[in-house]
């Protein structure tokens, strides 16, 4: 038995990553209008987004940056707050169509974002404190932090001796399968 093909969506679609289809939210765009709508083919989780960087460099005082949903702009609270700070530095506003509380053009929206910013700063400070305590506990227990050294203490002594005798740094590095800069940084 053949199954009928699904009906096409009522608005245009664009290809998305990993085989999914991303729907272009035409109703919101047609209601509010837009100068340019682009995700640059990247999701909000990407760290370096050239389209967003360009937008932030081009906005001027009095402009309002509008997004359909907050998750299209940023995937973490910290990233969102950094982006909103960059927008407010330019004396521009921000508005999310899907999240009415995220609107820096109104007093209520600014209040909500200020409260969220305070909470995010509080959480960052808690994480920093807990991380510091954990590092101190690990050091007290004798655990070494960071990555493992490339060379053992004996290999370091031998490499320094060979370097002091005049052997080339590159030759020494090849014998230990490390970079020449690793050998040149060794001190007695």
39-67: per-residue pLDDT in tens?
555 554 556 778 888 888 888 888 888 88
Give the mean pLDDT of 82-97: 87
> 180 pLDDT band (50/70/90 cuts)?
very high
Burial degree of 148 (CB within 10 A; 0-12, 13-18, 19+): exposed
Structural domains of the chain, with CATH: 13-105 (3.40.50.1390), 153-184 (no CATH)
Non-local (6+) Cβ contacts of 155 within 8 A are 176
Phi and psi dihedrals of 90, rounded to 5?
-85, 5
Asked if the model's pLDDT at residue 38 lies above 70, the reply is: no
Q: Contact, 93 vs 64, CB < 8 A?
A: yes
Half-sphere exposure of 160 (CA within 13 A, CB side): 11
Q: 95 pairs with which residues across the strands?
A: 66, 103
Higher-pLDDT residue of 54, 30: 54
Give the mean pLDDT of 100-128: 83
Instruction: Give CA–CA dist 117/167, Å, rounded.
Output: 57
Catalytic residue set? 38
Verdict on whether the full-model pTM lies above 0.75 = no
Phi and psi dihedrals of 96, rounded to 5?
-110, 125
If you write DSSP's letter for every residue of 92-128 in order, what string do you get? -EEEESS-TT-BTTSHHHHHHHHHHHHHHHHHHHHHH
Asked if the model's pLDDT at residue 137 lies above 90, the reply is: yes
Asked if the model's pLDDT at residue 19 lies above 70, the reply is: no
């Amino acid at each position: 038995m053949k199954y009928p093909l699904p009906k096409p969506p009522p608005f245009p679609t664009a290809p998305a990553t990993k085989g999914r289809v991303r729907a272009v939210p035409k109703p919101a765009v047609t209601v509010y209008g837009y100068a340019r709508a682009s995700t640059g083919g990247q999701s909000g989780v990407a760290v370096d987004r050239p389209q967003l960087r360009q937008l932030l460099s081009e906005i001027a005082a009095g402009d309002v940056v509008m997004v359909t949903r907050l998750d299209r702009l940023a995937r973490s609270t910290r990233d969102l707050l950094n982006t909103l700070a960059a927008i407010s530095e330019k004396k521009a506003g921000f508005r999310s169509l899907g999240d009415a509380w995220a609107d820096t053009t109104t007093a209520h929206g600014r209040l909500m974002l200020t409260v969220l910013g305070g909470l995010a700063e509080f959480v960052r400070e808690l994480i920093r404190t807990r991380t510091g305590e954990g590092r101190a506990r690990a050091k007290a227990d004798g655990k070494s932090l960071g990555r493992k050294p490339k060379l053992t203490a004996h290999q370091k002594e031998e490499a320094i001796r060979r370097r002091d005798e005049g052997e080339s740094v590159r030759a020494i590095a090849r014998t230990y399968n490390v970079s020449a800069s690793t050998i040149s940084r060794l001190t007695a």
